[in-house]
Amino acid sequence: MARTISQIYAEAVHTRNNYLQLTELDSGRTRSKVSIMNLLTYVMATMVHLYETMLDVFQVDIVNILSSRITGTADYYVAVSKLFQFDSATQAGDKLVFNEDTLRVEYETVDATHRIITHASYENYPDGEAIILKVCKDNTDSEEVEKGSVFAPLSDAELTAFKSFIGSGKFCGAKIYCVSNPGDILTIVTPENSSIYFDDSKVSRTQAVQNIKQALIDYVRGFQYDGYVQYQKVIDVIQQAEGVADVNAGVEVYISNYDSKTGMYNEPVMVSGRIKASSGHIRLTDAQGNFSVDSLSIKAISEIPASTTSRTKWQRLPNGVWQRVKLDEMVNYTQEWDKSLRNSDYIKHEKTGISEE
């Protein structure tokens, strides 16, 4: 960063005064700010400042040039993936040509409407000598989108053209494996005695179910590609849906990863903390096309029996300890004296102490 003129001037004066040959000039009128010596020093300080400013501008230009250069890193291939163009009419990728000016392989005609890649990411291959490039596209099937499959894998023709596109522009010796798999299945389960409750004074059951579905679809749409499914995040999404009053702690979340080797889904795994989406994206539709939300137990608050909040009461036992007991198990203790095992003292058992919670 360029120094200010004042900083350069002060440093020049300090250095000048260190030379004994110039001490005779540093006396009398030469100490004036407008003396010939000080004016020459100020002019030189200004010139040095201009030079350092020019170097700063030059450095910025160099950084911009280096940033725009092809580096061949994994992030570069992720960025290039989103430039892939596919013609749905011909079921083939658009024509590529070599640009002698930029020394790049580019499309003969740039058409943004032919770009189909929505998300792209990478992960290192186990041997560390290659990368796995993951991609997906927007799902154009509106019925599947309504069931929670917002994104979709590339078709065979699209994936073949995409591999050709990456291969034509990759650096020599680079090993890149391109994959596009169906999303991992996110399933939410409400076991026995666990439910999602909605406030029926504000929304109907139909509207509550629809709000929960839409909230989960929005979560899938905004899910960070190649990210992690977090249990608490999923529960929060349901809880924040309009009309939802409570979500039991027993609600479970499962994720079923897609196995590209077998072409089948693995056994669902319960999410207790977080699990990475191996396919990069997630879906709410199972392998049979069913929407997982349809099987949830969603009840109205008014369906909770009023007596459930008062079926038990606090009762003080003969030893003085308060305990929560069921109404039909309460015992009336008579007033009597018993010998305590503690310090050979006597404690008095009081009559039943009942307190409303």
Residues 265, 194, single domain; the answer is yes
The strand pairing partners of 285, in sequence order, are 291
Residues 295 and 320 occupy one common structural domain: no
- pLDDT digit string (tens) for 192-203? 778 899 998 889
Are 198 and 172 in the same domain? no
Buried residues in 296-315 as b, exposed as e (16+ CB within 10 A): bebbbeeeeeeeeeeeebeb
- Whether the predicted model's global pTM rises above the 0.75 cut: no
Q: How far apart are CA 167 and CA 175, in angstroms?
A: 9
Split into its structural domains, the chain has a count of 4
Given 120, 149, 180, the domain boundary residue is 180
| 143 shares a domain with 105 | yes
Say yes or no: 188 and 300 in one domain. yes
pLDDT at 326 over 70: no
The pLDDT > 90 percentage for the chain reads 46
Given this model, what pLDDT does residue 207 score? 92
Give residue 173's pLDDT band: very low, low, confident or very high (50, 70, 90): confident
Whether residues 136 and 165 fall in one domain: yes
Q: Is the pLDDT of residue 346 over 60?
A: no
What range does the domain containing 189 cover? 183-304
Task: Enumerate helices (H) and strands (E) in the chain, giving the number of each.
Answer: 7, 24
Cross-strand partners of 252? 189
More confident residue, 37 or 348: 37
Whether residue 273 sits in one domain with residue 249: yes
% of the chain with per-residue pLDDT over 70: 80
